[in-house]
Structure 1
Amino acid sequence: MIVRIMGEGQLTLADSHVVELNKLDDELLAEMESGDGTGFRSTLQALLEKVRELGSPLPDDSLEPSELILPSSDATLEEVRDMLGDGGLFPG
């Protein structure tokens, strides 16, 4: 799966990592629903760090279509809320 972090670039991420990332995604969704801005910020940072850790960066000149687009690390709760699908940022 090719994932784009807005403002940073693209990474290739094995589908097998989606289950692990879904845990953080579920946490982020719960914090957004409750309006927990501090928890949201912390969990968003943890989610992006985990994607960076597990993923392999694509070259900057690569123009692959992204299967998933994640917000930047400085995105607001409202901006991320607008990006969310029914089940969060990650499928499944």
Structure 2
Amino acid sequence: MIIRIMGEGQYRAPEALCDELNEIDNRIVALVTEGKNDEFRTELARLISEIKAKGEAVETEEIMESDIIVPPEDLSLEEARDIFKGSGIFED
């Protein structure tokens, strides 16, 4: 799976990582729904950190379509309400 972090590039993510990211994504959906801004920001930072740490960066010369687009870490709670809803950005 190819994941783009807005403003930071693309990463290849193995299936095991995608399962872990989906769990974080589900927590983010719940936190956004509950309006818990600080906790939401912590989990979004964790999501991005896990992608960078465990994914494989795609070279900038390589042009690939992204399967998932992760918003930047400075996303507001209001903006997140439009993105992190239902099953989130990672489909179950």
Q: Kindly state the Cα deviation for residue 32 of structure 1 after the two structures are TM-superposed.
A: 0.2
Residue 28 of structure 2 contacts residue 84 of structure 2 at CA under 8 Å; is this kept in 1?
Answer: no
Q: Kindly state the Cα deviation for residue 22 of structure 1 after the two structures are TM-superposed.
A: 1.6
**Separation in 1, partners of 2:30, 2:41:** 12
Q: Kindly state the Cα deviation for residue 85 of structure 1 after the two structures are TM-superposed.
A: 5.2
Deviations 1:37-57 (A, max 9, x none): 010111100111011111010
2:9 paired residue number = 9
Q: Kindly state the Cα deviation for residue 7 of structure 1 after the two structures are TM-superposed.
A: 0.5
1:41 paired residue number = 41
Identity of aligned pairs, percent? 34
**Separation in 1, partners of 2:90, 2:35:** 20
- The change in CA–CA distance for 1:81 and 1:62 in structure 2 (over 3 A counts) is farther
Q: List runs of 5+ in structure 1 lacking aligned partners.
A: none
Deviations 1:29-75 (A, max 9, x none): 11100000010111100111011111010111221000000001111
TM-score, normalising length: structure 2:
0.91
TM-score, normalising length: structure 1:
0.91
Structure 1 stretches of 4+ moved >4 Å: none
Q: List runs of 5+ in structure 2 lacking aligned partners.
A: none
**Separation in 2, partners of 1:54, 1:43:** 16
Q: Figure out how many residues of one structure are paired with residues of the other and give that number.
A: 92
Give the 5 Å matches for 1:9-88. 9-84=9-84, 86-88=86-88
Deviations 1:15-34 (A, max 9, x none): 22222112211111111000
For the residue of structure 2 that corresponds to 1:63, the secondary structure is: coil
